[in-house]
Amino acid sequence: MRGWLAFAAQKLEELRTLRTAAGTVKREALLAPSRAIGAARRGSAHTNDEAVRERVAALTPADYARAEPFAARQAAQRARVTLPELPTTTIGSFPQTAEIRAARRARRDGELSEADYEAFLEREIEQAIRFQERLGLDLLVHGEPERNDMVEHFGEQLRGFAFSANGWVQSYGSRCVKPPILFGDVSRPQAMTVRWWRWAQSRTSKPVKGMLTGPVTILQWSFVRDDQPRRETATQIALAIQDEVRELEAEGAFAIQVDEAALREGLPLQAAARAEWVAWAIDAFRLTVAPARSETQVHTHMCYSEFGSIVDQIVRLDADVISIEASRSGMDVLDSFGGGVYPNEIGPGVYDIHAPRVPDADEIEALLAAAEARIGRERLWVNPDCGLKTRRWEEVEPALTALVEATRRRRAAAPAEAAVA
């Protein structure tokens, strides 16, 4: 694979080659080595998996839709699990503490056995479950202590991905990630999240969400092969994640969240190209969750608050519950979803997790009232803006305590009158 990659040093060498080759009779000879590498990559067994390609080729329009419309699914889900008005949850991750990072490093360096590492993760997950039960959250998460990054973690377990040792890329602020190198056809050799979901669910009688990263986010946050259309690659990833959806459901998961944090981020700069891109990006999500039964609640999460231009396509996602960033806009982002535009359930974030500031219950209650006035209480969820991975427990505990307290107050109060119920 090394010969297929071009980082800064290799790109400089390519520029020298192009400069030398321009206007010379030796052009073909100078470019021949690069062309040979490209041909070898295109024909390599590492980039071509016939079983994956046959599976993609066999897809039909029926493979991209849930079996029943949302109203029927909502009724089936409410019959299966009774949740209160304004159900509370979090987006998925809890703080990645120094202790968690140290354990992961010790395991990688051979200083901590696999058995000891798994026992450590079990304790972390159980503590996360007990914490959520103590606060009174309704739909729980396992906290994701085993995950280094929401894309890298899945790339490490899927065929078709490779990783650099030090290929760090700045995400925001001082946070950096190490994007996978998506070089070949994608498939899932074995279950990726089921073991930890099963452990978390065994520790509580409340439902625990299965947590997956969606195909477009994996695509956007990887270095992606350039020898086939990105749509084709996204479809392969969608089928791999679909296999995980099926297995989580077979294990008994009531709720499965497929995060598409980068869906809005991936919009092409050229306006003329956006409609086609959004259409296949939404199709990739729909393909991922299409096999889920009506009584299985499919969640998704999207970052960034500019949804007005693509709200029709977000409706086409047809997730049972979507959570979005909303607190920094004072819930104004919900104007794009109100008035009967968005028919499914929605969790507008009620506090900003990107800052260490801890909101109080009064502030969150006011935001919930503003959300009710736009959407209607019967379709609203209560959650933070995003995952809590980058925050400290000293910030998370009082913030979620305020979230639960504000929700209890709203449940006890008369619903705010929505513009269109």
Residues with catalytic roles: 354
Q: How many whole angstroms from its chain centre is CA 144?
A: 13
Closest CA to 239 of 317, 183, 300, 291: 291
Q: Are 303 and 265 in contact (CB under 8 A)?
A: yes
Q: Are 155 and 167 in contact (CB under 8 A)?
A: no
Question: For residue 323, what are the β-bridge partners?
Answer: 301, 347
User: Would you tell me how many other CB atoms lie within 10 Å of the CB of residue 314?
Assistant: 25
CB within 8 A of 25, min separation 6: which ones? none
Q: Treating both helix axes as pointing N-terminal to C-terminal, what angle do 393-412 and 114-135 enclose, rounded to 10 degrees?
A: 30
Query: How many separate helices (H) and strands (E) can be counted in the chain?
Result: 14, 10
The identity of residue 344, as a single letter, is N
**DSSP code at position 360:** P
CA dihedral (157, 162, 163, 168) in degrees, to 10, reads -110
